[in-house]
Amino acid sequence: MSRSETRKTVLVAGAANLVLAITKLIAGLLAGSSAMLAEGAHSIADTLNQSFLFASLRRSERPPDKRHPFGYGNERYVWSLLAAFGIFIAGAGFSIFEGILTMTGHGGTGTAVWLAYAVLALAAVLEGASLIRAFHQARMETRESDHELVEHVRRSPDLTFKTALFEDSAAMIGIALAAGGLVLRQITGSEFWDGLASVLIGVLLAGLALLIGRESTVLLIGRAADPEAQREIRAEILGAPGVTGVDELLTMHFGPEQLLVAAKVHFSDAISADQAEDVAGEIDRRLRERLPIVRHVFLDPTQRFVRKESPA
């Protein structure tokens, strides 16, 4: 369910951003508003990013092969990293540059401010619908994980979904900043406030890009399962008959829906090698049932060494 829900979230966000990218740019040019142009650049960056994220969903579904025996799940994080660069360059860079031009008296001119307000109202509706869709997915997943909403988003390895959620949240803040800049421009008659709103939108997008980039980097390097999942895995292994201890437990995500488990396991001396192999197979089966994201389980049987006291 998680993959299909993420696909719907990305498609809804992409459709909303495509419509808004065109209307914001037109409104920005007619109103002579750098804040609206910044919002247009924001929506263009988001549209490109949603395309990246949708491509990542398709490419990560490819089955394992000889060159990639663990599959292509990590490709989701590569495309999320590209999305972060897109936000930073196409969104933040343009917005800050355009805002500085306006603040220094080199911005554009226009009179159709009413159109800018109308587009912002439309943007609030469309971005709000996209944000509601992302929150709906988050709430569905929190019911399955028994975590609070914020904690679930923080722990989730599904960076495609998190990027859509973060982008939609930033979009709503950006709309508020653009509206504030336009209102202050009309009240004071100074273009400075419109330019300042554009710069603030750029700073917001730069922060968003850094957040997504950091998350992508951590997951690309190889992030372990969260502590709660590790405790469940350890408990499942220790609960198997003939297991007397777990010396080392290693986990790593290969995409949001695949988890590798490797452990050094102590087996009782009372069971044979064949019995230990059967127990390992049962552990593999039970882990996959308890945690469906577990796809690969490697158990290394070890022995406990008892230090013997040297004779006096």
Query: Amino acid identity, residue 285?
Result: R
Tokens of 235: 């408990």
Q: Is the pLDDT of residue 200 over 90?
A: yes
Tokens of 36: 């609206």
Q: Which residue has the tokens 């159109």?
A: 115
- Give the pTM: 0.74
Q: What is the pLDDT of residues 208-219, one digit of tens each?
A: 888 888 888 888
Mean per-residue pLDDT of the chain: 80
Q: Is the pLDDT of residue 91 over 50?
A: yes
SS3 137: helix
Q: What is the pLDDT of residues 251-261, one digit of tens each?
A: 998 877 788 99
**Residue range 11-22: average pLDDT?**
76
Give pLDDT, residue 177. 92
Query: In the β-sheet with 259-267, what is the strand arrangement from edge to edge?
Result: 243-253, 259-267, 294-302
Q: Is the pLDDT of residue 3 over 70?
A: no
Q: Is the pLDDT of residue 61 over 90?
A: no
Q: What is the pLDDT of residues 266-280, one digit of tens each?
A: 888 888 888 888 888
Closest CA to 208 of 90, 98, 120: 90
Distance CA 208, CA 91 (A): 10
- For 301, phi then psi, to 5°, come to -65, 135
Q: What is the pLDDT of residues 166-176, one digit of tens each?
A: 888 888 898 89
Q: Is the pLDDT of residue 99 over 60?
A: yes
Please check whether residue 91 is in contact with residue 49, taking contact to mean a CB–CB distance below 8 angstroms: no
Distance CA 292, CA 296 (A): 11
Give pLDDT, residue 234. 92
Q: Which residue has the higher pLDDT, 106 or 183?
A: 183
Q: What is the pLDDT of residues 128-153, one digit of tens each?
A: 887 887 777 777 767 666 667 677 67
**% residues pLDDT > 90 (the chain):** 7
Burial level of 26, CB count in 10 A (0-12/13-18/19+)? middle
Q: Is the pLDDT of residue 106 over 70?
A: no
Give pLDDT, residue 196. 92
**Residue range 16-27: average pLDDT?**
81
Please check whether residue 154 is in contact with residue 165, taking contact to mean a CB–CB distance below 8 angstroms: no
Q: Is the pLDDT of residue 18 over 90?
A: no
Distance CA 20, CA 78 (A): 26
Q: Which residue has the higher pLDDT, 64 or 299?
A: 299
Task: Give the DSSP H or E segment for 249.
Answer: strand 243-253
Closest CA to 211 of 166, 256, 168, 173: 166
SS3 254: coil
Dihedral sign computed on CA atoms, order 258, 259, 262, 266: negative
Give pLDDT, residue 5. 62
Distance CA 166, CA 208 (A): 7
Give pLDDT, residue 309. 45
